[in-house]
């Protein structure tokens, strides 16, 4: 996670650090008294092909009821146990598994229905992974399971003051003292908005180090002032260990939130009732999916 606090006309940003207990983090930030906006690199929403059969009116209502349905988040090892009541798959890799078979097991017309509108490829970036798929380097299903099960759903069920963008309105309208507004961010989207460029894989420290000039330029445009520790981390490429990519991704997500809060990026939400009630959207994204 990366945290920035507004001070005067600028933002003071800290170096990335482990989240720890997310519920404790949110409570501590809210206790500071200022409105809190949290960008989360995980899905907030469900595909419309799945949601069409649900009795709840929207995704926040679904999350509030989720603690009473723990089987929903159990990952199926085989297609025999995949169903709309247990959609996450597969628990491990094996020969012959396909997203087409996964979609068929859920009663979908085809694999495209596994994806939300915001998961699909645009002219600006490639497609993200479908929510219910839990295998591979770019899958997001396990992050959703962890965050929904261990923090967001129990907190909402207990009446915590969490607001979910875009389901409950534009980001600015969700901000209030004692409240945390949660929005989905996507590093692959944010880096394009910010003009941050990597000469190679973001997983490599050398590529992250080479991106330092464009990252600093983006921070200057947004009036985000790094702490000494953050400035050192940027110049170092966020470390040589496997968590280096996570550190830079958290900073990209932070800058995405700041850009929307300060009007450098529009708080765009497609005029689509499925997006606004069930699927959600990626903060700062304005490009719609490519046709087909």
Domain regions of the chain by residue span: 1-292
Within 13 Å and on the Cβ side, how many CA atoms surround 237?
Answer: 19
Entry pTM: 0.95
Count of residues in the chain: 292
Of residues 229 and 27, more confidently modeled: 229
Q: Is residue 292's pLDDT more than 70?
A: no
What tens digit of pLDDT does each residue of 67-120 get? 999 899 999 999 999 999 999 999 888 777 899 999 999 999 999 999 999 999
Are 174 and 181 in contact by the 8 Å Cβ rule? The answer is yes
Q: 4 by DSSP, 3-state: which?
A: strand
Q: Quick one: what percent of the chain has pLDDT higher than 70?
A: 100
Phi, then psi, of 12 in degrees rounded to 5 = -105, 115
Q: What is 169-207 written as a DSSP string?
A: S-HHHH--TT-EEEEE--HHHHHHHHT---SS-TTSHHH
Helices (H), 73-211: 99-105, 141-147, 153-157, 171-174, 187-194, 205-210
Find residue 6's DSSP bridge partners.
Answer: 11
Tokens of 162: 């969490």
- The partner residues of 287 in beta bridges, in order of sequence, read none
Q: How far is CA 112 from CA 15, 62, 131, 153, 281, in A?
A: 38, 23, 12, 27, 17
Angle made by CA atoms 270, 184, 225, in degrees to the nearest 5: 115
* Predicted confidence (pLDDT) at residue 290 exceeds the cutoff of 90: no
């Amino acid at each position: 996670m990366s945290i920035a606090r507004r001070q005067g006309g600028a933002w003071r940003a800290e170096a990335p650090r482990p989240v720890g207990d997310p519920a404790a983090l949110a409570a501590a930030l809210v206790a500071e008294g200022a409105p809190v906006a949290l960008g989360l690199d995980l899905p907030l929403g469900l595909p419309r092909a799945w949601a069409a059969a649900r009795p709840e009116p929207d995704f926040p209502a679904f999350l509030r009821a989720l603690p009473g349905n723990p089987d929903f988040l159990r990952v199926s090892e085989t297609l025999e146990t995949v169903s709309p009541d247990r959609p996450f798959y597969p628990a491990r890799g094996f020969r012959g598994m396909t997203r087409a078979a996964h979609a068929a097991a859920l009663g979908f017309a085809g694999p495209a229905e596994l994806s939300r509108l915001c998961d699909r490829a645009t002219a600006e970036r490639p497609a993200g992974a479908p929510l219910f798929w839990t295998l591979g380097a770019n899958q997001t299903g396990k992050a959703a399971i962890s965050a929904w099960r261990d923090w967001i759903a129990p907190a909402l069920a207990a009446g915590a003051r969490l607001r979910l963008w875009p389901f409950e309105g534009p980001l600015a309208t969700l901000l209030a003292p004692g409240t945390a507004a949660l929005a989905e961010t996507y590093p692959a989207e944010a880096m394009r908005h910010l003009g941050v460029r990597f000469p190679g894989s973001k997983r490599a420290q050398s590529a992250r180090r080479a991106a330092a000039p464009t990252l600093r330029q983006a921070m200057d445009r947004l009036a985000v002032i790094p702490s000494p520790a953050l400035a050192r981390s940027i110049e170092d490429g966020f470390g040589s260990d496997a968590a280096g990519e996570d550190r830079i991704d958290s900073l990209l997500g932070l800058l995405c939130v700041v850009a929307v809060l300060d009007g450098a990026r529009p708080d765009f939400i497609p005029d689509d009732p499925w997006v606004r009630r069930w699927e959600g959207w990626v903060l700062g994204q304005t490009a719609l999916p490519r046709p087909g």
